[in-house]
Amino acid sequence: MHVLHVVGARPNLMKVAPVVNALKPYPKIKQTLIHTGQHYDTNMSDVFFQQLEIPAPDVNLGVGSGSHARQTAEIMTRFEPIVLERKPDLVLVYGDVNSTVATALVSSKLGIHVGHVEAGLRSFDRTMPEEINRLLTDQLADLLFTPSEDGDKNLEREGIAAGKVHRVGNVMIDSLVRLLPAAVDRKFDGLPDRYVLVTLHRPANVDDDRILKVILGYLLELNSELKVVFPVHPRTRQRIADFGIDASKLNLLEPLPYIEFLALQRRATVVVTDSGGIQEETTYLKVPCLTVRNNTERPVTVTMGTNLSCVRT
């Protein structure tokens, strides 16, 4: 059997690693890894392959950035010949990024079985590009691997046959558990005992200058009491520059490798984020998390975890 995994963006990488590893002991399963190239900076991609010990991709489609339509179309155009040539039995797609839906659609139309890892999550907010990606991918998938009970219920409500749904738990947390010991050993010079760790990259928070200014204003206020440590996503750095915002008083870092970021998370006093995965990681680590969104596709982090979803300005 030939399983072809697709990754494209940073959060896919923590999810693919445990699946590739789990399939390794089975000699009858051939595995191929395709990187769409949606994320291409070294510290958004390569360094995660090294730390998570993911085999180098067999092919990198090198699509890069673009509008949603352009990026999705480019991924589809470059992925189709790969599927035709390699003839996998199953294409496994991960999470909710543009690479996920684009490659699920191509595979499905070519009659190849699609498995979706992290199926069933819903924010019920269609202004989020990821929500559209989730809905469509789950409709296309033949096998739906859910992380939690709410995912099963969402799929049932959308009319997906129960026989296709398999609750496998949270693969992102499998990676966290594996690499936590390495994170415990990481030391940072000059890090205060108490600090707030911040990540922001959602278009709804960073693409509007008024909203971004208000959020950064709050962080500046907070910084005078609790030091802010802020590894900045390239989209957000670009917007800060575009809008001419002075954020020099905040401790702005480049995006961090996985283990270093995990090390900062586990020691943080509080995490402020708009990421999906970080809501889950802080829940596992029992670190308080304030999510700068007015909804979450991961309600279990609020009902059982340490997450508080706070309304944007």
Q: CB–CB of 77/102 below 8 Å? A: no
Specify the residue for token string 């809905």: 135
Here the tokens at position 92 are: 């496994």
Give me the least distance between CB of 202 and ligand UD1, in Å please. Answer: 7
Q: Work out how close the CB of 137 gets to ligand UD1 at its nearest, in angstroms, rounded to a whole number.
A: 12
d(C-alpha 163, C-alpha 142), whole Å = 10
Shortest distance in whole angstroms from residue 214 CB to ligand UD1: 20
The H-or-E segment that residue 86 falls in is helix 68-86
Decide: 81 and 40 in contact? Cβ < 8 Å: no
Return the ∠ at Cα 276 (arms to 273 and 282), rounded to 5°. 65
Which member of 35, 39, 116, 201 is catalytic? Answer: 201
- Residue 14 CB, shortest distance to ligand UD1, in Å, is 11
Smallest separation (angstroms) from ligand UD1 to the CB of 24: 26
> How many CB atoms are closer than 10 A to CB 126?
9
- Measured from the CB atom, the residue of 166 and 238 that comes closer to ligand UD1 is 238
Nearer to ligand UD1, 60 or 269 (CB): 60
CB closer to ligand UD1 out of 69 and 161: 69
Distance CA 272, CA 291 (A): 6
3-state SS of 25-72 is CCCCCEEEEEECCCCCCHHHCHHHHHHCCCCCCCEECCCCCCCHHHHH
Minimum gap (Å) between residue 73 Cβ and ligand UD1: 13
Which whole-number Å values give the CA distances from 211 to 85, 125, 206, 240, 276, in the listed order? 46, 18, 7, 11, 19
Closer Cβ to ligand UD1, 40 or 195, answer by number: 40
Between residues 55 and 66, which has the closer beta carbon with respect to ligand UD1?
66
Closer residue to ligand UD1 in complex, CB, 15/233: 233
Catalytic residue at 201? Answer: yes
**Residues near 261 by beta carbon (within 8 Å), at least 6 away in sequence:** 231
Nearest to 78 by CA among 63, 99, 94: 63
Give the Cβ contact number of residue 313 at 10 Å: 12
Which residues contact ligand UD1 (rule: CB under 6 A)? 9-11, 38-41, 44, 65, 96-98, 129-130, 201, 233-235, 238
Catalytic residue set: 201
